[in-house]
Amino acid sequence: MLKFAIKNLLTKKARMALVALSIIISASVALMAFNVSSQVQDGILNSFIYYDLIIGPSGSSTQLAMNTLFFTDSPLGTIPYSLVEELENSPLVNRVVPFTMGDSFNSSKVVGTSPLFLEDKTVKSGKLFSAPFEAVVGSSVASSYGLNVGDEIITSHGLSHGGAQHSASPLKVVGILKTTYTAYDDTVFTSVETVWEMHEHEEEEEAENAPVQTEAGTNSAPSHHGGSLTASSTASEEQVESHTGEVCAILVKTASLNAYTKLSQSYSGQTGLMSINPSAVLREVLDRVDLSAKIVYALSAVILLMNLIVVCVITLLNLISSRDEIQLMRLIGISARRVRQVFMIQNAILGAAATLLSLLLSHVALLFVNNISRAYGIVLNPFKLYPLELLIVLAVMLISVFPTILFISLLARKDALTK
């Protein structure tokens, strides 16, 4: 029966291909929509479990959360590092992590922080940074640029490729993180002191290379006259001081709910500062993601309904066009039950092949979607399979077989399929 069903399939290639294409398109859209929305939600939910307070400059709470937890967008500004030291000495706090970002390595962001920021991450090779100009790179950064422990990288000023390079202060790769399928994979991590020193070296070079107007009206290199600084070098020192001792945000794990309330009220009340609960902010983002997911699910349901209609029509056409074959099978002694089995097996094979191909294609498509989502700090795992995806596959497979069962039952009342 199986051989006969397969042979019968091959004799109606055009119609079977149309059924298969209909199933593949509808199932792939449904599967990809579910997988993407689930991974985005998981990524957001897992990002704020370590910290219950983020302190940063006044501005958008969403921007502060996304910049600090997903390394997207630009920092709101800077706040004094003295606040980090103040929090470290507070009995209300269990963990304090500084965060600064303003440089890049090719297309990857460079984050200045402390080793505590990577405490929950696994180092695949090497170790965490512990000294200035040491760096830990994400797995995607290492694979994209062929980096190994011991290599040196030159970062650039600014968050996009093309800024002034910090050639005088390269970073030494001391560790490579294990793949996490998060924004950490695309990021370079170093200490805040390293970021300060890189900017200090850059500004010192600019001051040394900048021409200075002397009393004689000629250009010369900056110099100290009688121990007093020139206007150019004084401005340079002021710029260095504005970078050194500043961070973009502070991530805090408080000791208790009461401690969280006190710290939140205390720092929110200070001029130029803002404190946010990342859980509350990102849940608002998650609500918007849920709404988008529901819209996509509704569209997927419409596509699946259209798929059911197409499969029904083509199945009916196949059965009608096969009436002569059915009568011939009945004449040579094949029972009606066997005839029904042939067509059910035929559609079952087609449905199974199409849905399994849909599952494969939906995960291949995730590779391309991942290139877009990475820009927003969401890294998708194309190999992640949710149990509900298998239920979707089973449901689509049953939908593809249902028309055959329905129409064969109707045709069973005819002479060709009555016995």
Contact of 83 with 272, CB cutoff 8 Å: no
pLDDT at 272 over 80: yes
pLDDT at 414 over 70: no
pLDDT computed for residue 387 by the predictor:
87
Note whether 104 and 212 are same-domain residues: yes
Residue finishing a domain among 217, 252, 276 = 276
Ranking 88-97, 320-329, 397-406 by mean pLDDT, the lowest is 320-329
pLDDT in tens, 324-339: 666 676 677 766 677 6
Q: Which residues contact 287 (CB under 8 A, 6 or more apart)?
A: none
One DSSP character per residue, 184-215 reads GGGEEEEEHHHHHHHHHHHHHHHHHHS-EE-T
Same domain, residue pair 217 and 319:
no
- Give me the pLDDT at residue 50, please: 76
For residue 327, the model assigns a pLDDT of: 67
Lowest mean pLDDT among 131-140, 194-203, 211-220: 211-220
Predicted local distance difference test score (pLDDT) of residue 383: 87
pLDDT at 29 over 50: yes
Query: Residue 152 burial by CB count (10 A; 0-12/13-18/19+): exposed, middle or buried?
Result: exposed
Name the band, by pLDDT with cuts 50, 70 and 90, for residue 6: low
The pLDDT value recorded for residue 408 is 66
Whether residues 227 and 349 share a domain: the answer is no
What confidence tens digit (pLDDT) does each residue in 275-289 have? 999 888 888 877 776
Q: What is the mean pLDDT of residues 5-33?
A: 74
pLDDT for res 353: 85
Length of the chain as a residue count: 419
Q: Is the pLDDT at 138 greater than 50, yes or no?
A: yes
* pLDDT at 241 exceeding the cut of 60: no
Task: Check whether residue 66 and residue 204 sit in a common domain.
Answer: yes
What's the rounded mean pLDDT across residues 73-82? 89
Question: Where residue 384 falls among pLDDT bands split at 50, 70, 90?
Answer: confident
Which has the minimum average pLDDT: 179-193, 202-216, 296-310, 398-412? 202-216
Give pTM, 2 decimals: 0.73
Do 373 and 257 reside in the same domain of the chain?
no
Task: Give the pLDDT confidence score for residue 226 in this predicted structure.
Answer: 35
- Examine the fold and report which residue of 221, 247, 276 is the final residue of a domain before the chain moves on: 276
Q: What does the pLDDT read at residue 231?
A: 35
The reply to whether 219 and 320 lie within a common domain is: no
Residues paired with residue 173 on neighbouring β-strands, in sequence order: 135
Domain count across the chain: 2
| pLDDT given for residue 43 in this prediction | 76
Per the structure, the complete domain to which residue 7 belongs is given by 2-44+285-417
- 94-108, 219-233, 303-317, 387-401, range with the lowest pLDDT: 219-233
pLDDT higher than 90, residue 173: yes
- Tokens representing 119 are 């405490």
Domain boundary pick from 251, 276, 301: 276
pLDDT value at 219 more than 50:
no
204 is written with which tokens?
Answer: 């010192």
Segment 157-170 shows an average pLDDT of 74
- Tokens (6 digits) for 306: 């259209």
Residues 189 and 244 in one domain: yes
Instruction: Give yes or no: residues 343 and 323 share one domain.
Output: yes
Residue 312 one-letter amino acid:
C
Distance, in Å, from the CA atom of 117 to the CA atom of 248, rounded to the nearest integer, reads 14
Q: Which of 8-17, 127-136, 366-375 has the highest mean pLDDT?
A: 127-136
Cα angle value 146/148/149 (rounded, 5°): 160
Q: Is the pLDDT of residue 15 over 90?
A: no
Stretch 127-140: mean pLDDT: 93
Kindly report the average pLDDT of the chain as a whole number. 77
Q: Which carries the bigger pLDDT value, residue 20 or residue 174?
A: 174
Let me know: does 27 contact 322? Beta carbons within 8 Å.
no
pLDDT at 166 over 70: yes
β-pair type (171-177, 134-137): parallel
At 224, the pLDDT band (50, 70, 90 cuts) reads very low
Average pLDDT over residues 181-210: 77
Question: What per-residue confidence (pLDDT) applies to 190?
Answer: 94
For residue 7, the model assigns a pLDDT of 61
| Judgement on whether residues 40 and 57 belong to the same structural domain of the protein | no
DSSP readout, 82-112?
HHHHHHHT-TTEEEEEEEEEEEEETTEEEEE
Same domain, 15 and 133: no
Whether 90 and 236 share a structural domain: yes
Please tell me whether residues 116 and 31 are part of one structural domain.
no
pLDDT at 206: 53
SS3 49: coil
- Structure-block tokens of residue 304: 């699946």
